[in-house]
Amino acid sequence: FLVEPEPFPRPPEREASYWIVLEGLLTTRPLLEATAAAVRDGNGGEYEETCHKLCLLLTDFLVLERDLLCRKEAGQREAQYIDLVASLCAHPIRKLTLLTLDAWLNVADMPLSERSPICQKPLFTRLLLTIVDQCTYPPGFTTWEESEGDCSGVDEDSFRDIREGSVDNVKDVLVTSFFLLKHDYIHLVLNRLNTHSSWQHLE
């Protein structure tokens, strides 16, 4: 017979530390939003290392405390944290998108019956659409050598890693999203095709 042990109680000190760290990490949102705006304006190169370190910190905490952050009884602060990490997927520094993928696969390993509603279909719908956006050629794109418009600020290597799935976790997140969303996955893709006319979106 299989015996399922009772969950080991968390020490009070760790519980207190969880809330302190959670609140502290939530304060990084304005900085990440400011760096995203700077990158879009072509002035954010100096912030890449800072964003990289923050992203690692945020995703590590999500993996470490997944069972609390994503639990069915999770509250508003946990929801804000999931939203913050998900926003990193859409950051114009596309390396951050790639850094979050392991964390989302870790969340996907958690049984649906134990997950908060926001960590189910809503989260993976968002991830699917964000990944598609992150591998869509920018307006004015012609070639990497002769690009116009927004393409000048795009890191080609990270863009290709997402677009071509050369990083395995990109494919894994998309496959995970498909199995969770099922027919909604197809509807989302079709809706995108029906609501955009530019070749960048359609191709």
- What span, in angstroms and rounded, lies between the C-alpha atoms of 124 and 23? 24
Residue position matching structure tokens 């109680």:
9
Burial 89-109 (b: 16+ CB within 10 A, else e): bbbbbbbbbbbbbbbbeebbe
- Cβ atoms of residues 52 and 95 within 8 Å: yes
Tokens of 6: 């009772």
* Domain ranges, ordered by start, for the chain: 12-201
Please report the pLDDT score of residue 150 as a whole number.
52
Please report the pLDDT score of residue 175 as a whole number.
92
**Which residues in the chain belong to E strands, given as ranges?**
none
pTM of the model: 0.84
Helix (H/G/I), strand (E/B), else coil: 136: coil
- What span, in angstroms and rounded, lies between the C-alpha atoms of 173 and 152? 28
Please report the pLDDT score of residue 1 as a whole number.
44
- What span, in angstroms and rounded, lies between the C-alpha atoms of 188 and 84? 23
Please report the pLDDT score of residue 134 as a whole number.
86
Helix (H/G/I), strand (E/B), else coil: 71: strand
**What DSSP designation does 93 have?**
S
Instruction: Choose among 97, 67, 75, 83: nearest CA to 28.
Output: 83
Helix (H/G/I), strand (E/B), else coil: 111: coil
**What DSSP designation does 115 have?**
B
One digit per residue, the tens of pLDDT, for the chain of length 203 reads 455 555 556 677 788 899 999 999 999 999 999 998 888 887 767 888 899 999 999 999 999 999 999 999 999 999 999 999 999 999 988 889 999 999 999 999 999 999 999 999 999 999 999 988 888 777 766 666 665 545 556 677 787 777 776 667 888 999 999 999 999 999 988 888 777 667 666 66
- What span, in angstroms and rounded, lies between the C-alpha atoms of 15 and 19? 7
